[in-house]
């Protein structure tokens, strides 16, 4: 759920190899920079010695002064395998800057033949061949400007290369890779290439984006915009991959219908399914969404679908925000994460309740609940403050000067890369409405802010979030206490000759709340001291 990813060791938690399938080492490549072209953000084409050119719009960079178009040569097993099936017509291109850009740069690559195609190489390992055809001898790609390096804090944890490269390939005629010869290979959808984009949009027919690459375990399927890449025939069934494409497409359409402009663009979406990833991730380094195998194989389930929707919202944000700069700021990260959750709330009815259940008892650094922690900031590897999406939702309303932010304001801000709550007056409005937040958490409608926020079962019943103390009668005692919490929040003391008692020491930071549910038998009595 985090932007930068929770890889915990340099190589990430590696899943044990399956017992019945030996996993051969994946083919990869090493890239050696050969030529660097400095591209000013002047809206003009800058061309290198190979005939590749890049146009960078003037408004794309927040801090960096220029973009670099880097041409590299490739060595290694993947480069060798590619050169057997394809003529590699250009160097491998990366588009980088000191920080990531907003929007897109326009990359033009020379195409030697009508059959030339752009291939995308992610992390020097994953591969997709785009269906875009040459026009007047060139191929166009609207490419993201990616950061050369990631900020030191919060810890990026991204050990994988985090790179994206573009290259022009042409299938060698007469090789096993030519379309006429691959028609009988099982598992490949060889719909006529010229037709597939139109077909995909009308009938959800997806196809391989590596049908012409026969010499490795690289796999890729696409609908013409969304590219899902993985390694190994046995890892995923094509029907499972098509479900990922269908979910992604449906989520993007729902976001576009709500007014998030990037969702409705033609920009390609890269999704990598990788068994070594522990949770869904959006990488600001490569603009790639990584899915672990369990998400990929259960993508229609509530958890995987909502996590995908959250990561896709980060992709939408990345079109308008300079995300590497944002990652250094707790306030900006708070906005990007709580709006990502609120984006999901807008398109998925059960997700507001799901967020409260999922993060309602998550601690900040083991000391207090995310509820108690101050809003408008974000800790290193923060998992607890995702519940602050509830605070933002309670404060999202219309038609009143009391409203800190409206749904329209949020959509406008996401489309333009703004931070409307990084403002003392807006924050003061939210802090002035903590009583409305408490009302909602007690299962009662807010009075001044979001008066129509759904009062779902989790807030009405109230025993699935916050700290809980249960009072019951047991064979040993008339009056027995149990709690979901522990010191320092709730400290148990046993005075001489008396049953033990609880001392509630929960600290509440400014803008935080402390939901404490006291359950007596079956009834729930609740208080919100803050």
Measured from the CB of residue 193, what is the shortest distance to Zn ion in angstroms?
A: 36
Buried b (16+ CB within 10 A) or exposed e, 183-198: eeeeebebeebeebbe
Determine the Cα–Cα distance for residues 390 and 437; give it in Å rounded to an integer: 8
For Zn ion, which stretch binds (CB under 5 A), given 98-106, 219-227, 337-345, 460-468? 337-345
**DSSP 3-state of 390:** helix
Q: Which helix (H) or strand (E) holds 142?
A: strand 138-143
Kindly state whether residue 1 participates in binding Zn ion, applying the rule CB under 5 A. yes
Contact 297, 320 (CB under 8 A): no
| Contact status: 368 vs Zn ion (CB under 5 A) | no
1: closest CA among 252, 256, 362, 263?
Answer: 362
**CA 99/CA 189 separation, integer angstroms:** 39
Cα distance between residue 211 and residue 170, in whole Å = 13
Question: How many Cα atoms within 13 Å fall on the side-chain side of residue 28?
Answer: 12
Least Å distance, CB 253 to Zn ion, is 21
Which of residues 340 and 434 has its CB atom nearest to Zn ion in the complex? 340
Query: Contact region for Zn ion (CB under 5 A) — 176-184, 332-340, 364-372, 377-385?
Result: 332-340
Report, in Å, the least distance between residue 341 CB and Zn ion. 8
Site for Zn ion contains 396 (CB under 5 A): no
* Cβ nearer to Zn ion, comparing 129 with 304: 304
Does 414 bind Zn ion (CB under 5 A)? Our answer is no
- Only one of the segments 46-54, 169-177, 212-220, 331-339 lies at the binding site for Zn ion (rule: CB under 5 A); that segment is 331-339
CB of 335 vs Zn ion, minimal distance in Å: 11
Cα–Cα dist 329/286, whole Å:
20
* 144-152, 240-248, 339-347, 371-379 -> range binding Zn ion (CB under 5 A): 339-347
Other C-beta atoms lying within 10 Å of the C-beta of residue 364: 19
Q: Which tokens sit at 502?
A: 């609880």
Three-state DSSP at 121 gives strand
Residue closer to Zn ion, measured from CB, 118 or 344: 344
Tell me the closest approach of the beta carbon of residue 290 to Zn ion, in angstroms: 13
Nearer to Zn ion, 307 or 436 (CB): 307
Q: How far is the CB of 334 from Zn ion (least distance, A)?
A: 11
Contacts of 224 by beta carbon, 8 Å cutoff, 6+ apart: 131, 196, 197, 200, 201
Closest distance of CB 270 from Zn ion, Å: 17
Per CB under 5 A, 468 contacts Zn ion: no
**Cβ 4 to Zn ion shortest distance, Å:** 9
Position of minimal CB gap to Zn ion? 1
By the 10 Å C-beta count (0-12 exposed, 13-18 middle, 19+ buried), 484 is classed as middle
**Among the candidate windows 115-123, 138-146, 205-213, 340-348, which touches Zn ion by CB under 5 A?**
340-348
Q: Which residues bind Zn ion (CB under 5 A)?
A: 1, 337, 340
């Amino acid at each position: 759920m985090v932007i930068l990813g929770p890889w915990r060791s340099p190589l990430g938690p590696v899943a044990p190899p399956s017992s019945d399938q030996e996993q051969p080492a994946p083919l990869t490549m090493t890239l050696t920079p050969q030529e660097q072209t400095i591209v000013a953000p002047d809206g003009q084409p800058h061309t290198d010695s190979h005939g590749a050119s890049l146009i960078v719009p003037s408004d794309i960079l927040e801090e960096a002064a220029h973009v670099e178009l880097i041409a590299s040569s490739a060595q290694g097993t993947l480069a060798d395998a590619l050169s057997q099936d394809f003529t590699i017509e250009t160097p491998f291109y990366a588009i980088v800057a000191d920080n990531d850009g907003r929007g897109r740069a326009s990359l033009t690559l020379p195409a030697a033949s009508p059959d030339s195609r752009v291939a995308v190489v992610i992390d020097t390992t994953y591969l997709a061949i785009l269906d875009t055809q040459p026009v007047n001898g060139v191929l166009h790609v609207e490419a993201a400007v990616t950061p050369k390096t990631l900020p030191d804090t919060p810890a990026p944890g991204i050990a994988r290369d985090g790179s994206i490269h573009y290259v022009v390939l042409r299938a060698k005629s007469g090789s096993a890779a030519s379309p006429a010869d691959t028609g009988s290979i099982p598992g490949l959808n060889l719909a006529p290439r010229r037709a597939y984009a139109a077909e995909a949009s009308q009938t959800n027919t997806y196809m391989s984006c590596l049908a012409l690459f026969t010499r490795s375990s690289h796999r890729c399927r696409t609908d013409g915009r969304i590219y899902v890449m993985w390694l190994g025939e046995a890892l995923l069934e094509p029907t499972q991959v098509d479900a990922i494409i269908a979910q992604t497409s449906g989520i993007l359409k729902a976001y576009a219908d709500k007014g998030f402009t990037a969702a409705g663009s033609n920009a390609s979406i890269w999704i990598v399914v990788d068994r070594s990833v522990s949770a869904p991730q959006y990488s600001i380094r490569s603009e790639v969404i990584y899915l672990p195998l369990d998400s990929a194989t259960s993508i229609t389930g509530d958890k995987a679908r909502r996590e995908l929707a959250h990561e896709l919202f980060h992709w939408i944000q990345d079109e308008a925000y300079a995300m590497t700069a944002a990652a250094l700021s707790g306030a900006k990260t708070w906005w990007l994460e709580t709006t990502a959750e609120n984006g999901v709330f807008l398109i998925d009815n059960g997700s507001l309740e799901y967020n409260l259940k999922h993060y309602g008892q998550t601690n900040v650094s083991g000391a207090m609940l995310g509820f108690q922690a101050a809003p408008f900031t974000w800790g290193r590897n923060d998992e607890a403050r995702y519940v602050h999406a509830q605070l933002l939702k309670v404060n999202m309303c219309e038609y009143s000067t009391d409203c800190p932010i409206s749904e329209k304001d949020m959509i406008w801000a996401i489309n333009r890369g703004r931070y409307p709550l990084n403002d003392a007056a807006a924050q003061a409005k939210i802090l002035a409405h903590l009583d409305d937040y408490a009302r909602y958490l007690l299962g009662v409608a807010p009075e001044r802010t979001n008066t129509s926020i759904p009062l779902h079962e989790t807030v009405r019943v109230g025993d699935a979030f916050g700290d809980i103390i249960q009072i019951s009668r047991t064979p040993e005692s008339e009056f027995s206490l149990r709690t979901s919490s522990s010191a320092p929040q709730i400290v148990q003391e046993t005075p001489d000759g008396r049953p033990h008692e609880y001392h509630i020491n929960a600290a509440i930071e400014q803008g935080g709340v402390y939901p404490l549910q006291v359950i007596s038998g079956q009834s729930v009595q609740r208080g919100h001291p803050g």
